[in-house]
Structure 1
Amino acid sequence: MCLIAFAWNVHPRWRLLLAGNRDEFHARPSAPLARWDDAPIIGGRDLEAGGTWLGVTDAARCCVVTNVRDPRDPQIGSSRGLLATDYLTGRADAASHAQQLLRAAANYRPFNLLTFDAQAAFYLGNRPEAGAQSVTPGVHGLSNADFNTPWPKTRILMQRLRDWIDAGGDTDFAPLFEALADEQVAPDAQLPDTGVGLERERWLSSAFIHGEQYGTRASTVVAIGHDGGGVIVERRFGPLGRLVGESLLRFGDLPSP
C-alpha cells in the first residue's frame, strides 16, 4: 500500500475502519482479492514475490504494509509482502509479534507495517532504524514515510475518514472510495522532499495516482466489527485509472444484511 487512513476503536460498530490505495507498476502480476487456497488469508496477492500488501483473516486479524520512499536507500533484503503473510498466518498476537519482529526488522526491505488483532494494534518500521509503537484509539494515517507523517494526501484522507464517521457512516463506503479516488495535486509548498524531484513529488501527491506504467492498482476498504465480523471491499484499476473489477468478501461472524 502507499496511502492508508484508519480509525482504531473510534466507531460504535467497527473496531477497525481502514481505507487505502495500493500504487504499483501495472506490469507487476497480482491476483485480486480472494480467499487463498494455501493459507487462511483473505486479500490480494503479489504473484511475483508471493506475499500481500493487505490481508485479513476470519479471526479478525488484519495487516497492511507500505514501502518507504527514499531512492537513496538500497532495496536490499527480504520482500515486504512476506511480513504481512507471516503475521496473518502466525499464532502470535499483535503485541508479541511486534516484539519478535523488532529483532529481525533490519533483514527486510524498507517498510512500514500495521498489525491488528482483537485487542491491540501496532505500527512497526525499519527506517531509519527498527521501531515499534502501540496504536492508540483515534484516526491515524500512513503513507511512504513514518507513522502519522502529515503528507497532504495523508492528512486529507484522514479528515475524509473522520467526516464519514461523524456523519454516521456505517456500511455505505462510497464516500471512502470517493476520497481514495481523489486526484487533486498538493501545492508545491506542502510537498515533501523525498529525493525523487519536484515533478514526481507533484505526481505522487494525490491520493489516486493516474499513470500508464505506474499508478493506483487497488483501492480497499476494511471494516472489522467489535463483534469480530468484518467486510473487505477492493476496487481494481488498470493503466490510466481504468476500473477493471470490484470484489467484496465477508469474514468472521458478520451476518449478511
Structure 2
Amino acid sequence: MCVLAFAWQAHPRWRLLLAGNRDELHARPAQPLERWQEPDHLLAGRDLQSGGTWLGVSEQGRLAVVTNLRGFGAPVPGLASRGALVTDYLAGRGAYADPLTADLSTFNPVNLIVADQRDAHFLSNRPDITRSALASGLYGLSNGRLDEPWPKTMRIKSCLLDWITGDAIDPELLFDGLHEQVLPDIGVEPRSPSDVPQEPLHSPIFIRNPVYGTRCSTVVAIDTKGCGVIMERRFASDASETGRTSLDFSWLG
C-alpha cells in the first residue's frame, strides 16, 4: 500500500473511512481480499511471499494498514516482514499484537496506522520510534511522513474530502480517485527516490507500469453503528482490472 487517505471520526455517519492503493512488483504473488480461515474474523488480502498482509480489518473491531518508508536506504535482508505488524494486530495475537508496545526497531523502515472502536494511532520507526494518537480528522500517507505533502498524497486526501463533504452515501465512488493516472500539479516532490527503481520519484495515485505498479485499490467504510464494508479492485501489469471483492462485516460492541 503506497498511498492512502484516512478519515477518523470526521463525519457524523462514518466513524472510519480509508481509500488507498497498494503499489508492488507485479511478479510478487498475492492472494485477493477474502475472509481468512484462521483466524476467521480477519478480512484481508495476503502476501504469499512473506505471509502477512498490507491492509485489513478484524470483526473484533480493528483495522490496520502499513506502508514502506523511503529515504533510509535499501531494505536490510532477513528482518521481520512489515506485514506481520498488520497480521498480528488484526489477529489479536503474536509478537506484534500490540504495536503500541512492540519493538518496532526490528523492522525495515515502516509506517503503520491502526484503529479500533475507540482510538486510532500512527506509528513509524524512522528516524526514531513514533507512536501518536490521531485526533478526529483527515490524514494522508504514502511512503514518507504522515501528511507529508507529496502531490499524490494531497490529491487522494482531496478526493476523500470531496466525498465526505458531498453526499457521502456510496463509498464505492472513492475508487474513481484511486484510479487517477494524471500527475497532480500540487505539493512537493519526495526528496528521496523509492527503494524500487521502477517507481518514479513523482508518481500519480495510480501507477501504470508493467514491472511495478498499482496492484489493487481498497476502500473501507465503517459507520458509527459498527457496520462496515471492505472493497478491493485488482489490476494486472497492463493496468487492466482482474477482479473485484466486497465483504460486509460488523464491529460489535
TM over 0.5: yes
Read off the aligned partner of 1:27 and give its amino acid letter: A
| Partner residue in 2 for 1:90 | 92
CA drift of 1:75 comes to 2.9
Query: What amino acid does structure 2 have at the position aligned with 1:21?
Result: N
What is the Cα deviation at residue 224 of structure 1?
1.1
- In structure 2, do the counterparts of structure 1 residues 53 and 196 end up closer, same or farther at CA, with 3 Å as the change threshold? closer
1:158-185 CA-partner distances (Å, limit 9, x unpaired): 01111111112122422x1111101112
Q: CA deviation at 1:99?
A: 3.0
Q: Which residue does the alignment assign to 2:108?
A: 109
SS of the aligned residue for 2:23 comes to strand
Would the aligned equivalents of 1:186 and 1:202 in 2 still touch at CA under 8 Å?
no
- Residues 199, 212 of structure 2: 8 Å contact kept: no
SS in 1 for 2:100: helix
Q: Secondary structure at the match of 2:154?
A: helix
Query: Structure 2 CA distance, aligned partners of 1:189 and 1:169?
Result: 26
What is the correspondence of 1:145-160 to structure 2 with a 5 Å cutoff?
145-160=144-159
- The alpha carbon displacement at 1:249 in A equals 0.2
Q: Aligned pair in 2 of structure 1 residues 209, 125: CA closer, same or farther (>3 Å)?
A: same
Question: For the structure 1 residues 201 and 91, does the alpha-carbon distance in structure 2 shift closer, same or farther, using more than 3 Å as the test?
Answer: closer
Structure 2 match to 1:13: 13
**Partner residue of 2:24?**
24
Name the structure 2 match of 1:162.
Answer: 161
In the other structure, the counterpart of 1:231 is: 229
Evaluate the alpha carbon distance shift between residue 60 and residue 170 of structure 1 in structure 2; reply closer, same or farther with a 3 A threshold: farther
**Equivalenced residues, count:** 247
Letter in 2 for 1:140: Y
Give the direction of change, closer, same or farther, for the CA distance of 1:223–1:172 in structure 2 (3 Å limit): closer
Structure-2 residue corresponding to 1:190: 188
Question: 1:118–1:253: structure 2 CA closer, same or farther, 3 Å change rule?
Answer: closer
Partner of 1:54: 55
Query: C-alpha deviations, 1:110-149, integer Å up to 9, x for none?
Result: 1100000000000000011111100110110100011111
Q: Which has the higher helix share?
A: 1
Matched to 1:22, the amino acid is R
TM-score normalized by the length of structure 1: 0.89
Root mean square deviation of aligned Cα: 2.3
TM-score (norm 2): 0.91
Percent identity over paired residues: 44
| More displaced 10-residue stretch of structure 1: 181-190 or 203-212 | 181-190
CA–CA separation in structure 2 for the residues paired with 1:4 and 1:163: 15
> In 2, distance between residues paired with 1:125 and 1:203?
21
1:17-72 alpha-carbon deviations (Å, 9 max, x no partner): 00000000111110001000112310100011110000101123100000012362
